[in-house]
Amino acid sequence: MRYVIVGASAAGISAAKKLRELDDDSEITIISKDDKVYSRCMLHYLIGGQRDVEELNFIPKDFFIENKINWIKGKTVSSVVPNQKSLILEDGKSIFYDKLLLATGASSFFPPIENLSETEGIYGLRNLDDALEIKDSAKEIEQAIVIGAGLVGIDAAIGLAELGVKVSVIEMADRILPLQLDDKLAAKYQAKFEESGIEIITNARANKVLADNENYVRGLELTDGQIIDGKLIVVATGVRPNIGLIKGTEIEVDQGIIVDEYQQSSLEDIYAAGDVAQSKELFTNELALTPIWPLAIKQGEVAACNMVGITTRLSDNFAYQNSMRFLGLSTITYGLIEAEDDGYQTLIREDKDNYQKLILQNNKLKGAIFQGEINGSGVYGRLIKDKIDLSDKLDDIFNLTYADFFKENKDGVFSY
């Protein structure tokens, strides 16, 4: 059997590891555009100087040798040819597979802002090279701009601020981290960022990049006419799955590659996992992109099991979870961050350093937010995922632990 994986990151590596665990003999090949294995979640540490390239690696040094994996690194797959069961690399070489996993992730999306693509000094933050280039350019400048105050934008801003660069973050929504945080939590982080010299401009839209005579960025004009100075711009306005290599095939695609609960695409023997895949998400029960690291790992493992013939369903595809720790302040959120209408009950417990909010509907938990002390919050995520009825737990709802939900069955086995 020849297993081929495209992508050497969270999904691809976890799949390869699982494949080798389950099948000691077959040939495993990973092909990746990246010539290093690294965690994208830690790129801001590279920008800020807290970690070097080696310290972003998340696999043991001898991973490929130990696991007898052939890694073709630094090569782009241009196309997949399903009826020949082959891939074509950018240099024209063909690679044949029996089972294929597409784990190609996603790329930064650049919105249509005047001069954005034509001007020098504009970066996404997705790949190692982006982070290295940002770090390098930041040496020579005093002011930078980040477009987008989602998790990637905030990471970029913190990394740049660590280098002593004055950063302005432009956000279209009325608060930072609008998909992850409610008003209150966002305001708390915003105050912390501003204290550390990061300027936040909300309700703001970028209109036009301003360039100097040498075509290097010198600032950004907003739609209200305001000019923000900065000699480097990081664009953090979302990502798009890397699906170019399957163009022209019959593999079903929406935003990403559509997969079933076995991570199989619409074509037999072709699987997809991680940020490139679109799968049934547990909280919404809808087909969605699930672009978070833990799900890329899990989906890669599930794909591998099915590739070797061990039928395995992805049971825990819960993308509505976020954890963050910025400037010493931790937050975990699960499910909804705000009640959607009057049919929900919102309970809040807070003191000076901690904030906890639970959102219930018909006595079932739909959302949970913990800021400050986050120990013990995991159980609330589980209650949302498992749709547990909490009618008899409402009195002590902020003090629940896993122990409250374990019961001993007649056969002596514990269940949840």
Name the residue nearer to ligand FAD (CB basis): 70 or 223: 70
Q: Is 296 in the site for ligand FAD (CB under 6 A)?
A: yes
Q: Is 186 in the site for ligand FAD (CB under 6 A)?
A: no
CB of 407 to ligand FAD, least distance (A): 32
Strand pairing class (106-108; 239-241)? antiparallel
Name the residue nearer to ligand FAD (CB basis): 107 or 143: 107
Q: Is 76 in the site for ligand FAD (CB under 6 A)?
A: yes
Stretch that binds ligand FAD, among 18-26, 47-55, 289-297, 395-403 (CB under 6 A): 289-297
73 neighbors 35 (Cβ within 8 angstroms): yes
H or E segment at 44?
helix 43-48
Q: Is 332 in the site for ligand FAD (CB under 6 A)?
A: no
258 neighbors 265 (Cβ within 8 angstroms): yes
CA 338 to CA 357: how far, in whole Å? 9
Q: Is 143 in the site for ligand FAD (CB under 6 A)?
A: no
Stretch that binds ligand FAD, among 4-12, 60-68, 115-123, 191-199 (CB under 6 A): 4-12
CA 204 to CA 222: how far, in whole Å? 7
- Alpha helix (H) ranges present in 209-278? none
Count of CB atoms situated within 10 Å of the CB of 240: 16
Site for ligand FAD in 241-270 (CB under 6 A): 242, 245
369 neighbors 333 (Cβ within 8 angstroms): yes
Among 48, 82, 105, 367, binds ligand FAD (CB under 6 A): 105
- Which residue type sits at 130? D
Residues in contact with ligand FAD, shown as a per-residue x/- string from 34 to 73 under the rule CB under 6 A: x-----xx-x------------------------------
Strand ranges (DSSP E) for 59-179?
69-73, 77-81, 86-89, 94-96, 99-102, 106-108, 122-123, 143-147, 166-170
CB of 293 to ligand FAD, least distance (A): 3
**Contact positions vs ligand FAD (CB under 6 A):** 6-12, 31-34, 40-41, 43, 76-77, 103-106, 125-126, 151-152, 155, 242, 245, 274-275, 291-294, 296
